[in-house]
Amino acid sequence: MKLSVLDQSPAAKGSTPADAITASLALARACDRLGYERYWLSEHHNSSSIVGSAPEVLMAAVAATTRRIRVGSAGIMLPHYAALKVAEQFRVLEAIAPGRIDLGLGRAPGSDRLTARALNPHASPSADDFPRQIADLQRWLDGERLPEGHPYRAITAQPQGPTSPEMWILGSSGYGAQLAAHLGLPYAFAYFFSDGLGVEQALDLYRQNYRPSERFPSARPTICVWALAADSTAEAERQLMTREHWRVRFEQGLLGPLVAPDEAAAYAFSPAEQARIDQLRVNALVGTGPEVAAQIRALAASLGLDHIVVNTWAHDPQVRLHSYRLLAREFHLQQEA
């Protein structure tokens, strides 16, 4: 089975946002050595919890300082941007790391409505141009001319080259699954975001409606899960408290950096908050390396997947790195000397 990484550059209390970016770069280099398949970076705006606001910029740094791992976005929120600008950015990235660039696309705002408006004041809130944007973007990425009669047919996205980024559609509902199937593109379901709700239906829609494309003759689905491994089950559950504390506050609209496990444990949760935490723990992929690996394998088998993307948060970047090391060992990833 192939394992990949989703890094959201989470902020940690007591550290600076710049520290979170530095930790992302260090983790990417480590995961390159550990044998992970892909390293994806998310896009969020106006958040004190997730500071990765420009994945295309961070991707350039990761691509330039790694050797073999694929580097991608998960994702670029396309409605904020002009398709040509995204095509140019990813053509530059492809020139930096030929054959190693993924362009994951989403249509969610990745922010609040006001911030989304500030990112693109000219966007029409009632028009869904996402499929049209993707069609234009795909042609520009692949160096193809836009259709006859298209107002931008004469434009070429530079720099051109012999390879092009691999495009993925991201989502947590049937819409993205159906769009990816229609376009003949790989699809990634945000299992960690939706707590797995709707994953079977989305993957079924994708597989049943998949239209083979030249680059992707067969469907290529994956899911992104949240998981954390430690040297003991007790330690993993202690580290999990950091995310649990963040999650219950996030669902109340209270954003902030990750707190240390001890601070999270000392927080006076209300009965409703504790009930929500208990609910989250039922399907949490948390434990020792062998325990988490067994859970991931079972989930992948139940969904017919041979590729899983893993997202891990921890207050201490070394705890996060150690979790990825433990999983790399359990899955026998090809590691560099």
pLDDT one digit per residue (tens) for the chain, 337 residues: 999 999 999 999 999 999 999 999 999 999 999 999 999 999 999 999 999 999 999 999 999 999 999 999 998 999 999 999 999 999 999 999 999 999 999 988 777 888 888 988 877 654 468 999 999 999 999 999 999 999 999 999 999 999 999 999 999 999 999 999 999 999 999 999 888 899 999 999 999 999 999 999 999 999 999 999 999 999 999 999 999 999 999 999 999 999 999 999 999 999 999 999 999 898 899 999 999 999 999 999 999 999 999 999 999 999 999 999 999 999 999 776 4
Residues with Cβ < 8 Å from 69, sequence gap 6 or more? 28, 31, 32, 36, 37, 38, 39, 100
Number of H helices, E strands in the chain: 13, 9
Number of residues written out for the chain: 337
Strand partners, 77: 106
Q: Where are the alpha helices (DSSP H) in the chain?
A: 17-34, 55-64, 83-96, 113-119, 130-141, 174-183, 191-194, 199-208, 233-250, 261-266, 271-282, 289-303, 317-330
Q: Say what the pLDDT of residue 283 is.
A: 86
> Any idea what DSSP says for residue 122?
T
Rounded CA separation 91/83 (Å): 12
Domain ranges of the chain: 2-235+286-330
Q: Both tokens of residue 67? A: 């050797």
Q: Both tokens of residue 10? A: 């989470």
- Overall fold of domain 2-235+286-330: TIM Barrel (3.20.20)
Report the amino acid identity of residue 108: A
Rounded CA separation 216/66 (Å): 26
Q: Is the peptide bond before 75 cis (omega within 30 degrees of 0)?
A: yes
Q: Say what the pLDDT of residue 126 is.
A: 47
Q: Both tokens of residue 28? A: 């990417």
Q: Say what the pLDDT of residue 292 is.
A: 98
Does this model's pTM top 0.85? yes
Q: Say what the pLDDT of residue 124 is.
A: 61
Q: What is the largest CA-CA distance in the chain?
A: 64
Q: Say what the pLDDT of residue 14 is.
A: 97
